[in-house]
């Protein structure tokens, strides 16, 4: 199998451009590509050469070594395909007997992800810190606002879903407690946090990094 070496971004290039208020035309002109090619880059979150990756880093004020890595796309795609075959496509069903959690998941590599979730206070720890745990959600309420969100009920569904994600992109997902205990048990532990460590994303407050 012939190599296809590319530079993979672990940050969402499309979201970075939007945050900085840059148009597609401005970015495309700066890196010497057409707008259509830039759109493909943003969709895959991959560039074909180191020079283009470094131009994007300069434009977006990123550290090249921290935000891009060189990889063989054909091998990565084959690994993803094989891993997904060991899992099961999510059925996206809600089971009344299950408890659910709402997570933000961003793949930062083929085998790793960054997970953010909302935590609720269960007790004070000291004058400045609190004991918090991941907050359960009403899946029906989430579905009302986000009808196309994925719902993961089992470890096999999680395995399939996590390998289907594009590296660098952030995804929202509902995960059952059963699946959490099987695949993400560390996310259910207690966390000791200060109020100033809590984040707000999409208008949702009290979020912390779980991994």
Q: Read off the pLDDT of residues 39-51 as tens digits, 9 standing for 90 and up.
A: 999 999 999 999 9
Q: Are residues 194 and 99 in the same domain?
A: yes
Is the same domain home to 98 and 40? no
* Together in a domain, 97 and 193: yes
Same domain, 74 and 175: no
Other beta carbons within 10 angstroms of residue 45's beta carbon come to 18
- pLDDT at 136 (0 to 100): 96
* Residues 128 and 200 occupy one common structural domain: yes
Same domain, 76 and 134: no
Q: Is pLDDT at 170 greater than 80 in this prediction?
A: yes
pLDDT over threshold 80, residue 31? yes
> In this predicted structure, what is the pLDDT of residue 1?
61
Mean per-residue pLDDT over the chain, rounded:
95
DSSP single-letter state for residue 195: G
pLDDT tier, 35 (very low <50, low <70, confident <90, very high otherwise)? very high
| 202 & 110 share domain | yes
What is the mean pLDDT of the segment spanning 13-24?
96
Burial class (CB in 10 A: 0-12, 13-18, 19+), 44: middle
Domain hosting 65: range is: 5-85
Which CATH number belongs to the domain containing residue 54 in this structure?
1.10.260.40
pTM (two decimals): 0.91
Does 46 share its domain with 97? no
Tell me: pLDDT of 15 over 90. Answer: yes
Select from 43, 25, 46 the least CA-distant residue to 34: 25
pLDDT bin (cut points 50, 70, 90) of residue 203 is confident
Confidence band of 2 (pLDDT split at 50, 70, 90): confident
Confidence at residue 148, expressed as pLDDT on a 0 to 100 scale: 95
Residue 42: the pLDDT is 97
* Sign of the C-alpha dihedral computed for residues 185, 188, 192 and 197 taken in this order: positive
Asked if 193 and 130 sit in the same domain, the reply is yes
Final residue belonging to a domain, choices 27, 59, 85: 85
Segment 159-166 shows an average pLDDT of 96
Let me know: does 174 contact 104? Beta carbons within 8 Å. Answer: no
Domain shared by 100 and 53, yes or no: no
Note the pLDDT of residue 143. 95
- Residue 111's pLDDT band (cuts 50, 70, 90): confident
pLDDT tens track for 145-154: 999 999 999 9
């Amino acid at each position: 199998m012939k190599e296809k070496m590319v530079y993979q971004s672990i940050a969402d290039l499309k979201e970075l451009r939007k945050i900085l208020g840059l148009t597609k035309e401005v970015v495309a002109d700066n890196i010497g590509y057409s707008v259509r090619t830039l759109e493909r880059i943003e969709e895959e979150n991959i560039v074909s050469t180191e020079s283009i990756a470094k131009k994007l880093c300069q434009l977006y004020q990123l550290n090249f070594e921290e935000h891009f890595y060189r990889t063989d796309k054909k091998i990565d795609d084959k690994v993803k395909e094989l891993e997904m075959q060991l899992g099961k496509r999510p059925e996206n069903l809600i089971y009344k007997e299950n408890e659910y959690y709402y997570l933000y998941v961003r793949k930062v590599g083929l085998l790793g992800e960054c997970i953010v979730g909302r935590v609720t206070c269960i007790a004070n720890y000291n004058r400045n810190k609190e004991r918090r745990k991941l907050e359960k959600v009403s899946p029906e309420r989430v579905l009302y606002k986000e009808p196309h969100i994925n719902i993961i009920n089992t470890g096999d569904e999680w395995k399939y879903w996590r390998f289907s994600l594009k590296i660098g992109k952030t995804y929202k997902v509902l995960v059952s407690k059963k699946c959490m205990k099987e695949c993400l048990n560390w996310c259910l532990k207690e966390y000791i946090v200060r109020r100033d460590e809590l984040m707000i994303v999409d208008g949702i407050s009290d979020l912390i990094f779980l991994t």
